């Protein structure tokens, strides 16, 4: 058994700064329709026990829900680059 810690949850955060529905379900978090989470879910989850398989599944699902990710390339925020480019053109 593995104790859920804030560190473990942070390891599973995707490049967009969140977790997927599948990741949370893997940890046993009740997820309602339209990805509605019960207030305080994270506080209740931290300190609870999960299996090694649940931990493995949670971490393996990291970034699987993020579209247009090439795992062997660094992540680029093209919208931020475009905004910066436009600011440079205007300046």
List, in order, residues 6 or more apart from 12 with CB less than 8 Å away: 19, 23, 58, 59, 61, 62
Which pLDDT does position 76 carry in this prediction?
Answer: 56
Predicted local distance difference test score (pLDDT) of residue 17: 85
Residue 27 half-sphere exposure toward CB, CA atoms < 13 A:
27
Q: How far is CA 68 from the centre of its chain?
A: 15
Note the pLDDT of residue 65. Answer: 81
What is the residue-wise DSSP string for 27-60? TT--B-GGGPBPTTHHHHHTT-EE-HHHHHHHHH
Q: For residue 69, what pLDDT is reported?
A: 55
Each residue's pLDDT, cut to its tens digit, for the chain (91 residues) gives: 999 999 999 999 988 888 999 999 999 999 888 888 889 999 999 999 999 999 999 999 998 887 765 555 555 566 666 677 677 776 6
- CA of residue 24 relative to chain centroid, distance: 9
Domain limits, the chain: 2-66
């Amino acid at each position: 058994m593995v104790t859920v810690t804030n560190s473990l949850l942070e390891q599973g955060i995707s490049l967009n700064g969140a977790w997927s529905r599948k990741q949370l379900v893997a940890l046993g978090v009740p997820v309602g329709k339209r990805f509605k989470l019960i207030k305080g879910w994270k506080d209740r989850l931290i300190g609870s026990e999960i299996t090694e398989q649940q931990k493995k599944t949670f971490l393996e699902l990291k970034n699987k829900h993020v579209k247009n990710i090439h795992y062997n390339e660094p992540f680029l925020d093209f919208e931020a680059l475009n905004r910066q480019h436009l600011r440079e053109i205007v300046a």
